[in-house]
Amino acid sequence: MSVQSAVRRKTAPEIRARKNGEPIVMLTSYHAHTAALVDRHCDVILVGDSLGNVMHGFETTVPVTLDMMILQGRAVMRGSKQALVVVDMPFGTYEASKEQAFHSAVRILKETQCGAVKLEGGVRMAETVAFLSERGIPVMGHIGLTPQSINTLGSFRAQGREEAGWAPIETDAKAIAQAGAFSIVIEAVAEPLARKITQSIDVPTIGIGASAACDGQVLVLEDMLGLSPRAPKFVRRYGNLGPLIEEAIQGYARDVRGRAFPGPEHVYDMKKVT
């Protein structure tokens, strides 16, 4: 007997088909509880390796492991129902060879049951993107600023700031689009370059700090909620939850210290619970 869930999840081919259509809405999530909220409003949930910075307080995404991504990917799958869940492949789990990438991606798909993986890099990853795509693994690309390369880049600066630097980024986009990526994240590039790339490839571009010229947008949830200690300059804040959470914690601490912790009579209707 086959079991089909009532709500069907979006798929990578459906996101691919949104080129020149309705903009793709994507946010990160690493937990079941935030995934449930994001799921109601977004097409794609990214379990980003930014969890290394946001959840674990690392300076970079370099220390993130495959096991960390799989654990949080499983939580996000449990919390969501309709969005396509994409899980980042962390640094060191896919660059050595296309076979290494295949084994890591298979673990991610089998152990989380997510719908796609994301990896960083352009021309140098094209062969790997083709290898995975041809073997049943939908791949989202990631070009422009690629945070996993921080140790060779030296800083998290915007890429292609001068027109002279545009060509390699455009070549990267074309290479992984042709290799079979179903969409491509473009991070921290100037608007004219993002527009040029978006117009020159036939898969959707998803911008982060790359202007409204892209086919969709992604942000790190905690950055746009005002919960990250350091968010990139381009992030628009849609909330400022940090002070609200702290106020609630202060109120709780005050009550406990003043022995004013609410007893059941404040919380429950005792007639119902007895």
For 101-209, strand residue ranges (E) read 116-118, 139-144, 183-187, 205-208
Residue whose CB is less far from ligand KIV, 58 or 102: 58
Partnered with residue 142 across adjacent β-strands are 185
Report the nearest approach of ligand KIV to the CB of residue 156 (Å).
Answer: 11
Give the x-and-dash track for 138-157 against ligand KIV (CB under 6 A).
----x---------------
- Say whether residue 218 binds ligand KIV (CB under 6 A): yes
Binding residue (CB under 6 A) for ligand KIV from 15, 28, 44, 104: 28
Report the nearest approach of ligand KIV to the CB of residue 238 (Å).
Answer: 16
Query: In the range 243-272, which residues lie near ligand KIV by CB under 6 A?
Result: none
Q: Report yes or no: 184 and 206 within 8 Å, Cβ to Cβ.
A: yes
Residue whose CB is less far from ligand KIV, 170 or 187: 187
Sign of the torsion formed by the C-alpha atoms of 13, 17, 19 and 24:
negative
Partnered with residue 44 across adjacent β-strands are 26, 84
- Say whether residue 170 binds ligand KIV (CB under 6 A): no
Report the nearest approach of ligand KIV to the CB of residue 119 (Å).
Answer: 10
- Say whether residue 186 binds ligand KIV (CB under 6 A): no
DSSP 164: G
Binding residue (CB under 6 A) for ligand KIV from 49, 170, 215, 222: 49
Distances (CA, A) of 229 to 33, 224, 241: 21, 11, 12
From the list 47-55, 100-108, 127-135, 241-249, the region that binds ligand KIV by CB under 6 A is 47-55
- Say whether residue 231 binds ligand KIV (CB under 6 A): no
Element spanning 88, H or E:
strand 84-88
| Number of neighbours of residue 168 by Cβ within 10 angstroms | 14
Binding residue (CB under 6 A) for ligand KIV from 30, 42, 48, 177: 48
Catalytic machinery residues: 187
Q: Report yes or no: 59 and 48 within 8 Å, Cβ to Cβ.
A: no
- The residue number whose beta carbon is nearest to ligand KIV equals 48
Report the nearest approach of ligand KIV to the CB of residue 175 (Å).
Answer: 19
- Say whether residue 50 binds ligand KIV (CB under 6 A): yes
Spatial CA neighbour of 146 closest among 128, 124, 178: 124
From the list 12-20, 48-56, 68-76, 103-111, the region that binds ligand KIV by CB under 6 A is 48-56
Place of tokens 């210290």: 257
CA 9 to chain centre: 17
Residue whose CB is less far from ligand KIV, 230 or 272: 230
Report the nearest approach of ligand KIV to the CB of residue 140 (Å).
Answer: 9
The two three-digit tokens of residue 128, written as one number: 């790997």
The DSSP bridge pattern shows strands 116-118 and 84-88 to be parallel
Backbone angles phi, psi at 123, to 5 degrees: -50, -45
- Say whether residue 88 binds ligand KIV (CB under 6 A): yes
CA dist 240 and 224 (Å) reads 8
Positions in the binding site for ligand KIV (CB under 6 A)? 28, 46, 48-50, 88, 142, 185, 208, 218, 220
